[in-house]
Amino acid sequence: MGEFLKVLTYQQARDLLNQNFSWAATELLPIEKCGDRLLAQDIISPENIPAFIRSSVDGYAVDCEDTFGSSESLPGMLEHAGEILMGSGSDLTIGSGQCAWIPTGGMLPSGSNAVIMVEYTEKLDDKTILTFRPVGPWENVMQTGEDIATGELVFTRGKRLRPQDIGLLASLGIHEVEVSKQNRVGVISTGNEVIPIQQKPDLGQVRDVNSYAISAAIQSCGAIADVYPIVPDSPAALKDTMARGLTENDLLLVSGGSSVGIADYTLDAMLSFPDSDLLFHGIAMKPGKPTLAVRVGQQLIIGLPGHPVSALMVFHIVCASLLSSFRRQTVQGRLLQNIASQAGRDDFIPVRLIPNEHELTVQPLLGKSGLMNILAQADGFIHIEYEKQGLYNSEMVTVTLF
């Protein structure tokens, strides 16, 4: 394999990863633990909502024919036969010329087929209600099953559950559902120069930023990050850690070791697992060029760049969609300077948003700042597409927010 680089666009890389990554196993969970989880089953309504004919206003339950002809100038007159209470059925029956007080959500008493809103009535005395307009059949009521009918498809597999969706499951009496398990992602930092963050770097050493930044990004996708101790530049140690990582996780992210020189044995180590296959070696994007991916059975090992800014950007742009269907917010703004780019490569550039009086302006962060400071200052990033040679000052651009 060695020299032959399999370079893809970032979309091709992302698609290939998605095609080769299978959803995590599923688990049955009580709905109170399912916020933001992905449904792993279709949800069919087990019952009618509402379960009974229900008033959608505060007013009087009536036989609508008894209100026909009533108006402001010539009100109708009905006998007040009683009250419907919330939270209990009623054995009240409305006879001809009668009505009953009913609150919003109350069950219509038998004999009634509509509700006249309290605003169009007046209580003449305890026994007598005046009606100032007519109501039609089933006006101001919800029919049984009108909201959701028994057997109706409520949600389909793959839906991300929001608070209101969990509320709807609760209202249907569905108290547990099958959801995708949270993915477990192993995080491995490699390199002789990488040291634990608690240590003071000697000259030439760098702290292990990737384990922390990539783990936080994994968690923000709703997955579980499993961080391994730093691996020195040793083929045997790398292979051992990756073997453990594959046993314990659905996906491995290995940062460092994908640039020339060290790249060879990193790739060799990945390809030494049974049923393994190089998906790509290099992405035509900046940052992120030295990214590579190997399929091992049903699992993936993705080799991220060692440079922390590159690693995190590649995670956001190429890897995050494996773990989460969440799409980042975008805003439009006006670019504050020219940016040159190379055609034949997708560029992603961190930017800061500066609101001015009339519009949002977009300041690219192009400094040579090597570490995380440039991303820590950034509100988001812009994308210069593959075929473009740059963007112009004052152009409107789309910013994807971090």
Stretch that binds a second copy, among 2-10, 15-23, 34-42, 74-82 (CB under 8 A): 34-42
| Tokens 């490569």, residue located | 345
Task: For residue 52, state whether it binds a second copy (rule: CB under 8 A).
Answer: yes
Provide DSSP, 9-58.
Answer: -HHHHHHHHHHT-PPPPEEEEEGGG-TTPBBSS-EE-SS-BSSS-EESSS
Q: For residues 112 and 117, give the distance between their C-alpha atoms in angstroms, rounded to a whole number.
A: 14
Provide DSSP, 309-361.
Answer: HHHHHHIIIIIHHHH------EEEEEESS-EE--TTSEEEEEEEEEE-SSSEE
Task: For residue 54, state whether it binds a second copy (rule: CB under 8 A).
Answer: yes
**Least distance from C-beta 136 to a second copy, angstroms?**
14
Select from 63, 66, 165, 250 the one that contacts a second copy (CB under 8 A).
165
Which CB, 230 or 301, lies closer to a second copy?
230
Site for a second copy in 231-260 (CB under 8 A): none
Which CB, 51 or 343, lies closer to a second copy?
51
Binding mask 298-327 for a second copy (x = CB under 8 A): ----------xx--x---------------
SS3 for 154? strand
190: which 2 tokens?
Answer: 């490699």
Task: For residue 399, state whether it binds a second copy (rule: CB under 8 A).
Answer: no
Select from 27, 79, 83, 147 the one that contacts a second copy (CB under 8 A).
147
Contact 341, 384 (CB under 8 A): yes
| Rounded (to 5) percent helix, strand, coil in the chain | 20, 35, 45
Site for a second copy in 75-104 (CB under 8 A): 85-90
Task: For residue 206, state whether it binds a second copy (rule: CB under 8 A).
Answer: yes
Binding mask 3-32 for a second copy (x = CB under 8 A): ----------------------------xx
Helices (H), 172-208: none
* Residue 308, amino acid: P
Select from 2, 198, 275, 357 the one that contacts a second copy (CB under 8 A).
198
Task: For residue 288, state whether it binds a second copy (rule: CB under 8 A).
Answer: no
The footprint of a second copy on this chain (CB under 8 A) covers a number of residues equal to 82
Task: For residue 51, state whether it binds a second copy (rule: CB under 8 A).
Answer: yes
Task: For residue 50, state whether it binds a second copy (rule: CB under 8 A).
Answer: yes
Residue 168 sits at φ, ψ, to 5 deg, of -65, -40
Select from 207, 239, 295, 345 the one that contacts a second copy (CB under 8 A).
207
Q: For residues 10 and 294, give the distance between their C-alpha atoms in angstroms, rounded to a whole number.
A: 16
**Least distance from C-beta 162 to a second copy, angstroms?**
6
Binding mask 102-141 for a second copy (x = CB under 8 A): ---xxx----------------------------------
Q: For residues 255 and 245, give the distance between their C-alpha atoms in angstroms, rounded to a whole number.
A: 13
Stretch that binds a second copy, among 113-121, 238-246, 354-362, 364-372 (CB under 8 A): 364-372
The radius of gyration of the chain from alpha carbons, rounded to an integer in Å, stands at: 32
**Least distance from C-beta 225 to a second copy, angstroms?**
8
Q: For residues 44 and 24, give the distance between their C-alpha atoms in angstroms, rounded to a whole number.
A: 23
Which residues, in sequence order, are bridge partners of residue 296? 276, 299
Task: For residue 355, state whether it binds a second copy (rule: CB under 8 A).
Answer: no
